[in-house]
């Protein structure tokens, strides 16, 4: 197998690098810029300007067909661009959810009118989208959602609550999964809509995080009116539509780049001291460094397998689950040991390399291990699809959602 760029890919890489060199500062080793999507209007403004610039240069929506405003490029070109962009300091990924998950869902399940109205403003950075799936009692088991939509002529009236909605506070539109029929099995009574986040009755309340930021929200719906024309897919087929979004989410997480890795840890181990000698000479540190290196190499080749599948037009299978389980833990372990090496400074946010880059990575790693499939859910996938073990016991298969709810209430 040849892991080098093909001549076309090498040319694309040079083009991407030239664009980045001309428009963004280079990232220094050991400095992972904050990519949080918080409440600062200036950050959103700079992210929008960056998106417009990327589009104009031909580096936005690389894999989308030209007919919908994309570049008609290959998944490998997308990966090459992401690898290059990770070497530069760029604004946070305000558009990751919209362009990575919501708009691809709209393109697959929406009408021509939906596409004409919404794809371009999302691509140019004028409109931001969020994903309204998770609820307090439905995360891994997203088909267990309770937010209800009831038909009222040409409209639907929505009541309920979502949680962990990244960027709801600055989003223009949201992709919303609701229950339209509680009297069928839980996966069968769902319907997908999109809505204007400024609709009457929508309230986004911030959730304060341990990192000090507030990227997420609880979103409450009180008698929110959504026209039936904003339905994606047929009534009761929301699960099929949601699977498109979730599949895109898995892939987006699978190709995440730009985290602090072995090289960054090595640089820190060389520059810090332990027992009055450079930490890199300490046997225990060298042992952990070797372990990080082995895991990183394993991840590298797992990603090559994912990319090979993508380049053949296939959907990567359980490799993306393996990649996420291992990289989430590696991110956390590497940042944790780095913070120990930094002594007292490691406990203070903003201290040390990259103004607290390891601390930020450590705080963010817990969320990474939950979002887009928790470690346990991904391990279930690996157990079933790779190891051929029996699937999870399903007690909710042959009952209606209403029966499940009444059994839950009696407990």
Give the burial class of 6: count Cβ atoms within 10 A of its Cβ; 0-12 exposed, 13-18 middle, 19 or more buried.
exposed
Query: Kindly report the CA angle at 328 between 325 and 330, in degrees rounded to 5?
Result: 105
Q: Is 291 in the site for ligand FAD (CB under 6 A)?
A: no
Q: How many residues bind ligand FAD (CB under 6 A)?
A: 19
| Residues in contact with 357: Cβ distance below 8 Å, sequence separation at least 6, in sequence order | 30, 31, 32, 33, 260, 264
Q: Which stretch binds ligand FAD (CB under 6 A): 53-61, 84-92, 106-114, 132-140?
A: 132-140
Q: Look up residue 371 and give its two tokens.
A: 């979002």
Q: Nearest residue by C-beta to ligand FAD?
A: 139
For ligand FAD, which is the closer residue by CB, 77 or 161?
161
Asked if 164 is part of the footprint of ligand FAD (rule: CB under 6 A), the reply reads: yes
Query: Smallest distance, Å, CB 209 to ligand FAD?
Result: 9
Residue corresponding to tokens 């990227």: 215
What is residue 110's DSSP assignment?
A: S
**SS3 (DSSP) at 155:** strand
Stretch that binds ligand FAD, among 51-59, 306-314, 352-360, 363-371 (CB under 6 A): 363-371
Closer to ligand FAD by Cβ: residue 36 or 272: 36
What are the tokens at 47? Answer: 């992210």
Q: How far apart are the first and last CA of the chain?
A: 56
140 binds ligand FAD (CB under 6 A): yes
- Does residue 134 touch ligand FAD according to CB under 6 A? yes
> By CB under 6 A, which span of 75-83, 310-318, 330-338, 371-379 interacts with ligand FAD?
371-379
- Toward ligand FAD, which CB reaches closer, 139 or 318? 139
Instruction: Give CA 140 to chain center in angstroms.
Output: 15
Question: Footprint of ligand FAD on residues 72-111 (CB under 6 A)?
Answer: 97
- Considering only 81, 95, 133, 194, the residue that binds ligand FAD (CB under 6 A) is 133
Compute the radius of gyration of the chain from its Cα atoms.
Answer: 22
Among 274, 309, 377, 383, binds ligand FAD (CB under 6 A): 377
Residue 36 binding ligand FAD, by CB under 6 A:
no
Q: How far is the CB of 171 from ligand FAD (least distance, A)?
A: 9
Q: Which stretch binds ligand FAD (CB under 6 A): 78-86, 102-110, 158-166, 398-406?
A: 158-166
Closest distance between ligand FAD and the C-beta of residue 133, in Å?
Answer: 3
Tokens encoding 132: 């309204």
**Distance separating alpha carbons of residues 231 and 194, to the nearest angstrom:** 7
Alpha helical stretches, state H, 24-40? none
Residue 118 CB: number of other CB atoms within 10 A? 21
Please, what is the Cα angle at 96 between 58 and 148, to 5 degrees?
135
Rounded least distance, CB 245 to ligand FAD, Å? 9
Q: Which of 8, 152, 297, 376 binds ligand FAD (CB under 6 A)?
A: 376
**Closest to ligand FAD by CB, 155 or 209:** 209
């Amino acid at each position: 197998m040849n892991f080098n760029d093909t001549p076309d890919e090498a040319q694309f890489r040079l083009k991407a690098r030239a664009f980045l060199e001309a428009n963004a500062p280079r990232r220094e080793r050991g400095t992972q810029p904050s990519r949080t999507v918080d409440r600062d209007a200036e950050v959103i403004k700079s992210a929008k300007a960056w998106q417009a610039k990327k589009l104009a240069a031909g580096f936005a929506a690389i894999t989308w067909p030209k007919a919908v405003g994309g570049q008609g490029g290959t998944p490998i070109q997308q990966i090459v661009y992401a690898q290059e962009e990770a070497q530069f300091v760029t604004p946070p990924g305000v558009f990751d959810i919209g362009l990575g998950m919501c708009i691809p869902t709209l393109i697959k399940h929406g009408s021509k009118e939906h596409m004409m109205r919404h794809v371009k403003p999302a691509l140019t950075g004028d409109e931001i989208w969020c994903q309204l799936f998770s609820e307090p009692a439905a995360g891994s088991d997203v088909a267990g959602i309770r937010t209800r939509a009831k038909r009222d002529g040409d409209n639907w009236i929505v009541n309920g609550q979502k949680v962990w909605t990244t960027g709801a506070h600055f989003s223009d539109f949201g992709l919303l999964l609701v229950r339209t029929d509680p009297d069928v099995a839980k996966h069968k009574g769902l319907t997908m809509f999109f809505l204007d986040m400024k609709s009457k009755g929508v309230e986004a309340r911030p959730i304060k995080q341990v990192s000090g930021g507030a990227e997420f929200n609880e979103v409450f719906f009180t008698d929110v009116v959504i026209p039936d024309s904003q339905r994606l897919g047929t009534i009761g087929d929301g699960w099929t539509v949601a699977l498109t979004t979730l599949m895109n989410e898995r892939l987006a997480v699978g190709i995440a780049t730009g985290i602090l890795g072995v090289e960054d840890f090595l640089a820190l181990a060389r520059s810090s001291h332990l027992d009055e000698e450079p930490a890199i000479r300490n046997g225990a540190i060298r042992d952990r460094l070797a372990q990080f290196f082995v895991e990183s190499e394993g991840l590298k080749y797992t990603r090559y397998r994912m990319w090979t599948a993508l380049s053949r037009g296939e959907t990567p299978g359980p490799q993306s689950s393996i990649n996420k389980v291992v990289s989430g833990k590696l991110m956390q372990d590497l940042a944790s040991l780095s913070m120990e090496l930094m002594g007292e400074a490691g406990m203070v946010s903003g201290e040390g390399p990259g103004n607290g880059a390891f601390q930020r990575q450590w705080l963010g790693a817990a969320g990474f291990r939950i979002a887009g499939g928790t470690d346990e859910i991904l391990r279930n996938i690996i157990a079933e699809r790779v190891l051929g073990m029996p699937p999870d016991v399903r007690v909710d298969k042959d009952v209606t959602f209403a029966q499940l709810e009444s059994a839950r209430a009696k407990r």
